[in-house]
Chain A
Amino acid sequence: MRALQTAATGMMAQELNVQVISNNIANMRTTGYKRQRAEFQDMLYEHVRRVGAQTSDQGNQIPAGIELGSGVKTVATPRIMTQGTLAQTGKDYDVAIRGEGFFKIQMPDGTYAYTRDGSFELDGQGRLVTAQGSLVQPGITIPQNASGVTISPQGQVSAVLPGSTTSQQIGQFSLTMFVNKAGLQSIGDNLFQETPASGPPQDGTPQADGFGDLQQGNLEQANVEAVSEISDLIAAQRAYEMNSKVISAADQMLQTSSNLMR
């Protein structure tokens, strides 16, 4: 019975929907997290009777044919790359991007990853690194005994060095932009990697050529909205329940058929 398979696809799709929503809710407090959304499509139709086919020599056409669908499938779980709100932390090395762009991080194996999570620290040699210890590009080193580290909205890192009273520039942040941000691949640890779908990375300086500016002492919160996630969860749960009712109706009908013969 076709209805059984169709309802099964519906249940599987809603299961995936709930999984995506629960991942969003689990990461509500993750810095720089971008929420995902499951997108569905209906599947191939069997055209038992074609619309518009001729029924007689006089050219009468069928105004409505018979089309039987085969259920639903998940087509994508794109990330919604909207700006999250900035939260003030007051830490010197916390940076948030207000606008477009990603921080470029060098992974331990030499490849590059991108992130919106700006909660940076210093390693033993004074270099700016992520919480996992990966280097922030293009490489910013804070000299020992430097004080008053400031990061301007244009990404210039300045500090007061020992033996001087004025602030000097010791480094410059660079940001990276992509044509299709939603095409980036997530690898966990708040990091994204480039893919053929995202387009090539375009490096640049903050606040120039469409890049966003940097805000020191702030962190970008997740862009998850609890209310819409919960209402999506309710809709997914009810759709799951309704699909299970279709399965039991089909089951009942099959049982009735099999009981025709005693």
Chain B
Amino acid sequence: MENANLIGLSRLTSLERELGVIANNVANTNTNGFKADGQLFEQFLMPVARDDGFAGADRQMHFVQDRGTWLDMSPGTFQQTGNPLDVAIDGHGFLVVQTANGKEAYTRNGALQINSAGELVTSQGDKVMGDSGPIVFQKSDRDIVINPDGTIQVGDATIANSDSARGKLRVVKFANEAGLQKQGANLFTAPAGVSPGPVDANTHIVQGAVEKSNVQGVLAMTRMVEVTRSYADIAALMQQQDSTRKDAINRLAEVPA
């Protein structure tokens, strides 16, 4: 009977972790560029648990283990904001940013700003990388236009009636997007040894829009209902086991007077 309790406990702890994943998704329904997580379960063949009351192959006990969280890389909806520094990537791809410790990180959050040195940065202050280093704007630049291929043109006030180029946004693609790690602050990092490649030809940048979170509220809610009901079911099962044991102790130990 201990096996039943332990198996139930393994399910309860993994359900609790799944609720944590769902809660993180729901908390981030309004975060730009956020990608939802899903939870995977597997049966875990517990090597030292056996129940010899069963025949042959059924003797091994299977526990529940959460195997991993997977990244749902489907695109979120695009919200038109009209802000010239907002970019959204239509297709598979990430913007490259340089974090404070010099490492490269990737993001889909295109709500960009300009810092006091004129560099293009994220709202966290990390520099956005162009093909040849960070993108720097001059003080007199206005009417920033970001073309679908990532090239940036400005109306340069020092040269009358002409546009100047300010570089090209570096957009990269990973062969295995689900293998990326989330760092928080809307950033992804690649595991060691994985480097990105160039984007597909039909991926382009949309200026004046941001990509919203791809969390689907309805799915999160229904999965949450399933999780809570599963939890209650397993708990009821464990209670049943407990009362069976109590009964067994009481009845079997009864010595007729």
In the complex, chain A residues whose CB is within 8 Å of the CB of B231: 252-253, 256
Q: Does A106 contact B (CB under 8 A)?
A: no
Among the listed A62, A210, A242, which residue makes an inter-chain contact with B220, where contact means beta carbons less than 8 Å apart?
A: A242
A189 to B: closest C-beta gap in Å: 24
B115 to A: closest C-beta gap in Å: 6
Are A71 and B68 interface neighbours, CB within 8 A?
Answer: no
In the complex, chain A residues whose CB is within 8 Å of the CB of B115: 180, 183, 197
Main secondary structure of the interface of A (DSSP, over half): mixed
Q: Would you give the 0/1 interface string for B63-99, flagging 1 where the beta carbon is closer than 8 Å to chain A?
A: 0001111110000000001111000000000000000
Are B26 and A45 interface neighbours, CB within 8 A?
Answer: no
How many residues of chain B have a CB within 8 Å of chain A? 75
Given contacts A45-B184, A51-B191, A260-B238, contact A2 B69 (CB under 8 A): no
Tell me which of B32-40, B45-53, B196-204, B247-255 binds A.
B32-40
In the complex, chain A residues whose CB is within 8 Å of the CB of B152: none
Complex CA–CA separation, A65 to B39 (angstroms): 10
In the complex, chain A residues whose CB is within 8 Å of the CB of B67: 64, 66
Are B21 and A69 interface neighbours, CB within 8 A?
Answer: yes
Q: Does B162 contact A (CB under 8 A)?
A: no
Complex CA–CA separation, A198 to B235 (angstroms): 57
In the complex, chain B residues whose CB is within 8 Å of the CB of A41: 31, 109, 123-124, 184-186
Q: Does B161 contact A (CB under 8 A)?
A: no
Complex CA–CA separation, A66 to B231 (angstroms): 21
Q: Does A148 contact B (CB under 8 A)?
A: no
Are A179 and B137 interface neighbours, CB within 8 A?
Answer: yes
Tell me which of A88-96, A124-132, A160-168, A243-251 binds B.
A243-251
| Smallest Cβ-Cβ distance to B141: which chain A residue | A210
Among the listed B69, B137, B139, which residue makes an inter-chain contact with A67, where contact means beta carbons less than 8 Å apart?
A: B69
Complex CA–CA separation, A236 to B114 (angstroms): 27
In the complex, chain A residues whose CB is within 8 Å of the CB of B139: 177, 179, 199, 202
Q: Does B28 contact A (CB under 8 A)?
A: yes
Tell me which of B127-135, B165-173, B174-182 binds A.
B174-182
Complex CA–CA separation, A208 to B224 (angstroms): 60
Complex CA–CA separation, A133 to B19 (angstroms): 57
A-B contact pairs, 30 of them (CB 8 A): A2-B17, A3-B20, A9-B27, A10-B26, A39-B111, A40-B28, A40-B30, A41-B186, A42-B182, A51-B179, A64-B67, A65-B69, A67-B37, A67-B69, A69-B182, A71-B24, A75-B123, A76-B113, A76-B123, A99-B142, A202-B139, A209-B157, A210-B155, A228-B81, A242-B26, A242-B221, A249-B224, A253-B228, A253-B231, A262-B239
Residues of A within 8 A of B (CB): 1-4, 6-7, 9-10, 13-14, 17, 37, 39-45, 47, 49-52, 62-72, 75-76, 78, 80, 82, 99-100, 177, 179-180, 182-183, 196-199, 202, 209-210, 228, 235-236, 238-239, 242-243, 245-246, 249-250, 252-253, 256-257, 259-260, 262
Residues of B within 8 A of A (CB): 12, 15-17, 19-24, 26-32, 34, 37, 40, 66-71, 81-84, 109, 111, 113-118, 123-124, 137, 139-142, 155, 157-158, 176, 178-186, 191-194, 217, 220-221, 224-225, 227-228, 231-232, 235, 238-239, 242
What are the 3 closest A-B residue pairs judged by CB atoms, nearest first?
A210-B157, A10-B27, A69-B24
